[in-house]
Amino acid sequence: MAQSLDDISRQLKKRHRRSARMKWLSMAALAAAGAFLVFFLVDMLVKGLPAFQQAYLHVEVDYSERASELPLAAVKADVRELVSRGYLRLIPNRMQKTPDLLGTQRMEWVLADDAVDQYLKGRKTGLKDKQITVVDRMAEAGNAELRFNTGFFTNGDSKLPEMAGLASAAIGSVLVLIVTMAFAFPVGVLTAVYLEEFASDNRFTRFLEININNLAAIPSILYGLLGLAIFINFFGAPRSSAVAGGLTLGLMTLPIIIITSQAALRAVPDSIRQGALAVGATRWQTVRDHVLPLSMPGMLTGSIIGMAQALGETAPLIIIGMIAYIPDAPTGFTDAATVLPAQIFTWAGMPESAYVERTAAGILVLLSVLISLNTLAVFLRKKFEHRW
């Protein structure tokens, strides 16, 4: 039986309603992803920002003969548990360096214990009631305050949360990235040049291409197993060293650099190559003097993105032992080192709430470095992008 026009237009309305619903649903999905990002960033800021401040106490320090033997004696008994043990431990050292201190007594701003720090930031701590009254009294008199936490950026890792900082991990990250890029950038660019400019389209070339795409999708932890077996067990690179870590990450970053460099080379029009070849340049001269300079911005962009990925990578580095406890900054490529994400991982496993705070702060630092790297890449792409 034929439908009436009313039926049809009703049906039509329903179809249009369904269409609108689909649009809103798909928009909601995108919004959900954005909402998650906002939630995540706010959560990290709330957790991490307090760590950029650190509690200090204004106490009387007594540089007596006894204090050089027994550092605890340098401060009065009521605040002994409240100042950082790490600070007290350094007192004999300081007294040796400046002998004038001996016998003097003076008021000093001293790094506070992490429990005091957390209490002043309004968290629950293991402080006893008596200690809390002392801290409250000091805070009222202006003798306990939160200051900018420079130690977080200048100290290495520490077993005392109030002393722990990012510096040695940051230096480790820089060393690792130097090795990574020194390996991956030349090899990646040369591979891309081979594939785009020199290789003929045969079975070997196709195998290479498939292989590179596949490498890009292999889980990063397997690169860690490779690094452990090849660089450390076979070639005897020192465990936990920047060389071993950097080369492992270099192999991992290689496919990204190859793929982006290939795209950059492909974007150079053939007329450039034809022009160079027509005046008698060889293939290599054409590539070196004309194609490579034109595609360099694209390659650099790709390398920065690859570098950002290597900077955030943790799993393969754990496998080759880069989560060791490293209080002092590494001085060379073969020293035991740790990197920023591995430092974050180590702190995340600590029970004290001061470490949770520092983990989030470390994440904020890492994210800002990554975002600036990516912004730099976008900026470079925009600035040097050449439409032929």
Partner 1 sequence: MQTDQILMTFFAGVLFLGALGFFLGRNKAARARSGGVSMHSQPDQYAWFAVLTSAGPALIVAFLAAIVLGLFENAFPGWLAVAGSLGLGAFGLFVGLSRIRPELRARDSLERAVKWLLLAAASISILTTFGILFSILFEAIRFFQMESFWYFITGTNWAPGDAFLEAAGRAEATAGPSGNFGAVPLFAGTFMITAIAMLVAVPIGVSAAIYMAEYAPSRVRDAAKPVLEVLAGIPTVVYGFFAAITVAPLIVTAAESIGLEASFNNALAPGIVMGIMIIPFISSLSDDVISSVPTAMRQGSLALGTTRNETIRHVVLPAALPGIISATLLGVSRALGETMIVVMAAGLRPNLTGNPLEDMTTVTVNIVSSLTGDNEFDSAATLSAFALGLVLFVITLALNFASVVMIRRFREKYAVNDL
Which residues in the 336-375 window bind partner 1 by CB under 8 A?
341-342, 344-345, 348, 356, 359-360, 363, 366-367, 370-371, 374
Site for partner 1 in 17-46 (CB under 8 A): 18-19, 21-23, 25-30, 32-34, 36-37, 40, 43-44
**CA–CA distance, 135 with 337 (Å, rounded to integer):** 38
Q: Using CB under 8 A, which of 313, 352, 355, 365 touches partner 1?
A: 313
Q: Are 84 and 108 in contact (CB under 8 A)?
A: no
CB count, 10 Å around CB of 253? 29
Distance of CA 34 to the CA centre of its chain: 22
Residue with smaller CB distance to partner 1, 134 or 363:
363
**Residue type for position 264:** A
Contact status: 228 vs partner 1 (CB under 8 A):
yes
Long-range CB pairs of 102-106 (<8 Å, 24+ gap) are 102/63, 102/64, 102/65, 102/68, 103/63, 103/64, 103/65, 104/63, 105/60, 105/61, 105/62, 105/63, 106/60, 106/61
- CA angle (205, 209, 214) in 5-degree steps: 145
Judged by beta carbon, residue 51 or residue 75, the one nearer partner 1 is 51
Edge-to-edge strand order for the sheet containing 53-62?
Answer: 105-111, 53-62, 144-148
CB of 150 vs partner 1, minimal distance in Å = 24
> How is residue 279 written in tokens?
């005046």
What's the min distance (Å) between Cβ of 38 and partner 1? Answer: 9
Segment contacting partner 1 by CB under 8 A, of 2-10, 107-115, 131-139, 203-211? 203-211
Q: Which of 148, 153, 284, 384 lies at the binding interface for partner 1 (CB under 8 A)?
A: 284
Does residue 193 belong to the site contacting partner 1 (CB under 8 A)?
A: yes
Binding mask 318-337 for partner 1 (x = CB under 8 A): xx-x-x--------x-x---
Residue 379 interacting with partner 1 (CB under 8 A): no
- CA–CA gap between residue 117 and residue 81 (Å, rounded): 12
- Choose which of 53, 64, 158, 220 interacts with partner 1 (CB under 8 A): 220
Among 2, 141, 217, 279, binds partner 1 (CB under 8 A): 217
Q: How far is the CB of 65 from partner 1 (least distance, A)?
A: 44
Residues 234-263 within binding reach of partner 1 (CB under 8 A): 234-236, 251, 254-255, 258
Contact between 49 and partner 1 per CB under 8 A: no
Among 299, 308, 329, 365, binds partner 1 (CB under 8 A): 308
Based on CB atoms, which residue is closest to partner 1, 89 or 266? 266
Q: What is the CA radius of gyration of the chain?
A: 30
Closest C-alpha among 316, 307, 303, 311 to residue 186? 303
What does 248-269 look like in DSSP terms, one character per residue?
HHHHHHHHHHHHHHHHHHHTS-
Q: Which one, 132 or 350, has the nearer CB to partner 1?
A: 350
> 217 to each of 28, 231, 263, 299, how far by Cα in Å?
29, 22, 18, 20
Q: Does 225 bind partner 1 (CB under 8 A)?
A: yes
Site map 151..190 versus partner 1, x via CB under 8 A: -----------------------------------xx--x
Residue 222 in contact with partner 1, rule: CB under 8 A: yes
* 210 near partner 1, judged by CB under 8 A: yes
